[in-house]
Each structure stands twice: as C-alpha cells, then as structure tokens.
Amino acid sequence: MRYRALRIVATIYRIIGWIVIVVGVLSSCGFAALAVAAPQWFGGAMGYTGYGARAGMAGGVIGAVMVLVMGLIMTALYGITLLALAEAICVFLDIEENTREIARRIRELPGVTPPPAGTPE
C-alpha cells in the first residue's frame, strides 16, 4: 500500500469530523436546554442584559431556538468540511492508484515499448 501516511491523515480527519458532529449536536442541545431553563443566566453569561434577558420563558425559548439552530448549522459546516477533506484525500489516492494500474495495463499490451529507465512506476 502506497501513501500510508495520507491514509492515516484521512482516517484522523474522518474521526475528528464525526467527533465534531456528535459533540456539536450534544452541546447545541445542551445550551438550548440551558437557555430555556435559565434564560436570565444564559443572557447574562453572554453579556446581554437587555429586554431578552428579562423576557422570562418566552425569551428563553426564542433564545434556545436561536442557539440550537446556529449551533447545528456551525456543527454541520465544520463536521462536513472535515469529512469532505478526508474523502478528498481518499479520492486523490484512488486516482493515483487507478492511474498506476492503467499505466501497468498499457505496458502489458503487445507492441507497446516500455518507458525509458528512470521513469517512475
């Protein structure tokens, strides 16, 4: 197997991508629950002390929905980007492997002269 390090890097990116997705979804849900349970604390912790921080349950639910939606969007962007990077590395490795196999098959055709010495295989 060629390019073992790239395969390891792709696997690491894939693992980190799934970790980001799982932790991001769980933390988004947790912060949304916190925004409903204690909207005054959540608003104060974020440095916001305006009307929304004193709006009671309505402010907490609205804030929770905003936190949940934005958290899920950011989680999706980061997680999918890491998974796509891992897949891109795998695609490049597959292209290299297929190109090498095609070159080998062409050399085996009758009447094809071998490449000059020093040409990478």
Domain membership flag for residue 110: no
pLDDT of the residue at 118: 63
> Which domain covers residue 20, as residue numbers?
4-102
> Into how many domains does the chain fold?
1
pLDDT of the residue at 61: 78
The DSSP output letter for 2 is -
Domain membership flag for residue 18: yes
pLDDT truncated to tens, each residue of the chain (121 aa)? 789 999 999 999 999 999 999 999 999 999 888 878 776 666 555 555 555 455 555 566 777 888 899 999 999 999 999 999 999 999 999 999 999 998 888 888 887 776 676 666 5
Q: What backbone phi and psi angles, to 5 degrees, belong to 64? A: -65, -40
Please state, in angstroms and as integers, the Cα–Cα distance from residue 86 to each residue in 19, 26, 40, 52, following that order.
14, 23, 41, 41
Domain membership flag for residue 29: yes
CB neighbours of residue 7 within 10 Å: 14
Domain membership flag for residue 120: no
**Tokens found for residue 27:** 């933390």
Domain membership flag for residue 93: yes
pLDDT of the residue at 79: 97
pLDDT of the residue at 40: 67
Domain membership flag for residue 114: no
pLDDT of the residue at 57: 53
pTM greater than 0.85 = no
Domain membership flag for residue 38: yes
Domain membership flag for residue 43: yes
pLDDT of the residue at 47: 52
pLDDT of the residue at 27: 95
